[in-house]
Structure 1
Amino acid sequence: MAKNTFRTIIPEEEPEKKNPSGWWKSFWEGRKRYGLLRFILRKFLKGLLYFFGITITWIILLKFIPIWWTPTMLDRKFTAIAEGRDSEIYSDWEPYENISKEAALAVVASEDQLFPDHHGFDFDAMWGAFRHNLRGKHIKGASTISQQVAKNVFLWQGRSYIRKVLEAYFTFMIELIWGKERILEVYLNIAETGKMTFGVEAASLRYYGHSANSLSRAEAARIAAVLPNPIRFSIKNPSAYVQRRSNFIMRQMRGLGGKAYIANL
């Protein structure tokens, strides 16, 4: 008589579903709860809040402390190291009251004569530069001192729409939080004034042999004359163009009314 045998059949187990984790879990749960578009909008707004909080705190801190380094300084230093050149940066922060007002007037006369009156942007100059650039091969800039400070302190060199938008944001904020005197103080200390040289104090010590607090009008005008291209132009060995530009700046300084023009920033 055959013996009955019974075989227990164990059903095949379904593969275990892995629970999403990390950012994917956050994304998945958010998508289910709010819908994809609402979830993305919430994340975007949250990112903006973080951005504004961090940048406004940063701007407030830099209103009161010296700015020893900028992205431009770091770029010059790393480029020099990569090329095997001397990478020493010449920079010496000085408070506004310790810098000759001839230097302050010279950069305003040279770079941004409406500086005491505008709110960070010279729209007439920007429109003129835009029309010039449409016609010509040489790109003409129209950045105010405030825009140059915003770019050099907070951003990178180069041209892009993203950088321009950020530059406008930081320009507006430093005008609002710093005020004119602080913006001019920062500019006088971080503007590139020669090869590996930043600020009027470092330029004065390096090229004139004395501190910026005793700069004459002619010396200040020559520093301002090289600002459009301090790598190409030299304070120590001025070309005929730099000499002509220095004389032009001195005439502009007199035309603005001298140091009284920047007395009430």
Structure 2
Amino acid sequence: LCALKEFPSSGLRLVFQEALCPFAFMCESEGARRGESVYLLYVLTISGVAILCNLRSPFSYVSGSILSQNDIVGFNLQTHIQSAKVTAVKAKPGCLVIGRQDGSICCYSLGKLAPSSPGFSNELRDDAGIGRLWTLMSRTKALGPVQDIDTATVNERELLFVLHLDGSLRVWDISSQTKLVNYNVHLDDFEGQPSRLWVGEADDDQELISLAVLHQGTMVPACDHIGVYAFSFGAGERFLLSPEPSVSAVPLLEV
């Protein structure tokens, strides 16, 4: 799509049996050959069923086509360990990330592993590897609901950025499932609640990655702000992100 071009007049319209959440992610299927699926489509139903559709070229379908069961992978998020309400979702090729009302984050290898395979789902925890007793104790320190999730590649590492309603901004290394940063955006005295998160591309020359957080005002009259946070990172053997970013604010004034 391009602002200078008209919206395509032809394409593929998919109809699902159940209403969908306002989320969808589509990407090319890696290593696809002629006759194989060329696109991966991730969607989520309002009842909590995650669906992966393996699609061929739109022009290979005719009106009324029904996708083969072999081209659809689905699983119910509510049947897994975590059953709190889903509040945020993000996808990348081979991975679906779910954030919940209780502050938990879980990564599913959808498109990479079968749902029944070991390691298909992994919850990101502060206490990974410390022990079950400590796990249960640590969960008493509840986090706010997950507000938004974004991903970025930094120094060839896939990072996950998670924003919580209580102001916690956490950065995780997806492959090692380790937490790199825990920063609270409320420390910057922005009025309102953090609600949205956008992560920019890493600047390898400056060794900086910037992100923006929307703080929605709760006072009357309300004034929303965009907080811009720049984290420095090291490119050595031990990858590190700075625990304290540089911060600037952009007020969003009504016209």
Fold equivalence (TM over 0.5): no
Give the structure-1-normalised TM-score. 0.24
Larger fraction in helix: 1
Structure showing greater Rg: 1
Larger fraction in strand: 2
Give the structure-2-normalised TM-score. 0.25
Instruction: Tell me: higher relative CO, structure 1 or 2? Use CA pairs within 8 A at least 6 residues apart.
Output: 1
